[in-house]
Amino acid sequence: MKPELHITLVQAELQWQQPEANRQHLEALFAAAGTTDLIVLPETFSTGFPGKGYSVAESPGGESSAWLKEMADKYQAVMTGSLVIKQENKFYNRLLWVEPGGETRHYDKRHLFAYAGEDQHFTAGSERRVWSWQGWRVCPQVCYDLRFPVWCRNRDDYDLLVFVANWPAPRKDAWSTLLRARAMENQCYVIGVNRVGICGNGNEYPGLSGIFDPLGRPVAEAGAEEGIIRGAIELAQVGEVRGQFPFQQDADRFRLLD
């Protein structure tokens, strides 16, 4: 059990549909992170947000998945970020959570971004995930999921909510506001990692990655520049906030229906 986790966020400029170049670039960025427990990469970190996604899809256990395992062992830290994965003739925006030693878990993005046509080419995930790691309960989410608080609602089952994203600049205020809102309403730590730069579709990305505590206060924040952001989070603070402000006991009870 680790009562304190050291977090490294990698806010990167991604090259359009260039997996090998992106892997090399990301590795160069987080090489300076020092000792850390968790390294968080953006959504579709090997390609940028792909649109149709067909030409850049990898199979499960493909090159980028293998690279995550290699990096997890090298830095003795969990590696997480999402990839375009093709499995059984379906395409998924799949977040991978890779622990040192090779154990790999995944979450398929639930809310596909219809505004950009993602729903026309990808298959939505159907399962909300919560994983136990080092005494922490972690709920992974991908980008557009941030707008849907019912899906990521804390059911007294997680301490840390992680969002990986390619969130465009025109909606940057929503990104920053909703990350804080998810932290406050769920009384948990929230991590949000976004990319920077301009993608092959001409969309600009503002960065603004950050770590927020259970009261919505910033632990660490980035601007619009490429780089790494580091911060530490403490499990005891989650319990303290929930004990001092026991709002969850008054929450509405519900279950999701497809």
**Known catalytic residue: 63?**
no
**Known catalytic residue: 74?**
no
- The H-or-E segment that residue 18 falls in is none
| Catalytically annotated residue among 43, 58, 99, 118 | 43
Give the long-range contacts of residues 180-185, CB within 8 A, separation 24 or more: 180/212, 180/216, 181/149, 181/216, 182/146, 182/149, 182/152, 183/212, 183/213, 183/214, 183/215, 183/216, 184/214, 184/215, 184/216, 185/149, 185/154
| Catalytically annotated residue among 13, 69, 99, 109 | 109
Contact between 109 and 92 (Cβ < 8 Å): yes
Give the long-range contacts of residues 217-221, CB within 8 A, separation 24 or more: 219/189, 220/7, 220/9
**Known catalytic residue: 152?**
no
| Catalytically annotated residue among 143, 152, 188, 199 | 143
By annotation, the residues acting in catalysis are 43, 109, 143
